[in-house]
Amino acid sequence: MDPRGGALLVAGTTSDAGKSMVVAGLCRALRRKGIRVAPFKAQNMSNNSAVTVDGGEIGRAQAMQARAAGLAPSVRFNPILLKPGSDRSSQLVVRGVVAGTVRAGDYFTHRDHLSRVVAEDLSSLRSEFDAVICEGAGSPAEINLRATDLANMGLARAAGLPVIVVGDIDRGGLLAHLFGTLAVLEPEDQALIAGFVVNKFRGDPGLLSPGLQRLAELTGRPTYGVLPFADDLWLDTEDSLSVVANRVIGIPRPPRGSQRLRVAAVRLPRLSNSTDVEALACEPGVQVRWVSDPAALADADVVVLPGSKATVSDLDWLRSRGLADGVAEHAAAGGTVLGVCGGFQMLCRRIEDSVESRSGRVDGLGLIDADIEFAEVKTLAHHEDPLSGYEIHHGQVTRCEAEDWLGVGVRRGGVFGTHWHGLLDNNAVRRRWLTEAAAAAGLRDFVVADDTDVPAARDAQIDLMADLVTAHLDLRAVLGLLDGGGAPPRPVIESRTVSRLVGNLET
């Protein structure tokens, strides 16, 4: 009998299908049962990252899942992180440390080394915990990437993991997605697919039952549960698909006074750590909207320039869209501007970058009298006392004539800049800053709530997902998968069936 803890893989029909939250919910639900559980994502591609307590960098979703499991974030939970800097290249982070830049075409040369890293870290976790809940990446049906796959069926095959496929029914076409995901896989991969989970369902479950019954007949696999849509599940978004221009973030709450504060967060092409502005969206009477054109700045009380994985490139985009002028005009009129990490760097006078973009000296927006120079070694820092937050940046402040802000940033009048992510999760800091921003906007009857607790809200979301998983999934069957038993027969959908369907389409 295998002395290691059980493990399973939660895959998805698409990106943003809900894999991250299902894994978090399972981790919290199993922890409630006294099971020692850990999350694992072999390879993540995301610019939303977090810093572990030992100074490594992992995907933010894995830090959230660690919290769900009652653990401190560890680089073992996400040994490989790809941070896209352009459409064809990404920064490669291995076990929390930058290992270089890779292009999509040459990633195959790294596969053997990276697969060993993944195998070692998963084995280490399984030797320490009762259960490891693994998260896939994108979709296992991306068969064009199967040869280099480390996070989906490549991981499942290598480690012998049963796989649950999650699909977002809110997008439509889910039953075809579930069937098709299974059908295009190789027989050896199909054999590992244990069943399905329907996510984000609205309406009468009875209307879905005939479809799920037919899906079971076609595939020989059960659906382990149907998770209902929940409006409150919007914090800690992992995928850029969730960050859409002209969309309001979260569910705006009624104001405590008679006035609202309007926040325009610029949706940069290489946006990173988009979760920073979620803290503002938690506040009653604060409406936060992602924007991508200067007209959207006209009625904003506050403008936020968030982090970026490509500061100089996104600064060029800002200028080409007319947003740079819009931000400057907003600041000149006495409006509040906040730049976080890459956004802060854009606000400065000069940027010297021979590392990220290799553009050399570039003029910034000049709204903060400071200069930035990119260093080869990335700053990774986790802060807890007296303020919590974390830093992930190559850019360093080399000259600054601006006023200090809280010891973690600078300001020039109503223009604020900091390299700290998560600063606005500090409740006292956020309330004080919002009070000042509302005053600058002339909002005399905007009332800052004294009972909004953002860290508690993030934790409550995990509890909600665990409640949904407990109420709507067959947890006994899931635990059976972890134990290596109780899995239903897993027949193969013959490739000729798919070939015949494709042939019919072509004719």
Q: Please state, in angstroms and rounded to a whole number, the distance separating the CA atoms of residues 507 and 505.
A: 5
348-353/360-363 β-pairing: antiparallel
Angle, alpha carbons 129-11-496 (nearest 5°)? 130
Neighbours of 207 (CB within 10 A): 9
Cβ-count burial of 358 within 10 angstroms (0-12 exposed, 13-18 middle, 19+ buried)? exposed
- Tell me how many helices (H) and strands (E) the chain has: 15, 26
- Let me know if 400 is a catalytic residue: no
Alpha carbon 189 to chain centroid distance?
27
Q: Which two tokens stand for residue 207?
A: 């209307």
Q: Which two tokens stand for residue 305?
A: 């320039």
Q: Which of 110, 177, 330, 421 is catalytic?
A: 421
HSE-up of 28 (CA within 13 Å, CB side)? 21
> Measured between alpha carbons, how far is residue 21 from residues 6, 235, 309, 462 in Å?
20, 10, 24, 8
Q: Which of 27, 282, 341, 348 is catalytic?
A: 341
Contacts for 268 with CB less than 8 Å, ≥ 6 apart: 305, 306, 308, 314, 317, 318, 342, 343
- Let me know if 394 is a catalytic residue: no
Neighbours of 52 (CB within 10 A): 22
**Contact assessment for residue 368 and residue 399, using Cβ atoms and an 8 Å cutoff:** no
Q: Please state, in angstroms and rounded to a whole number, the distance separating the CA atoms of residues 265 and 296.
A: 10
HSE-up of 100 (CA within 13 Å, CB side)? 5
Active site residues: 341, 421
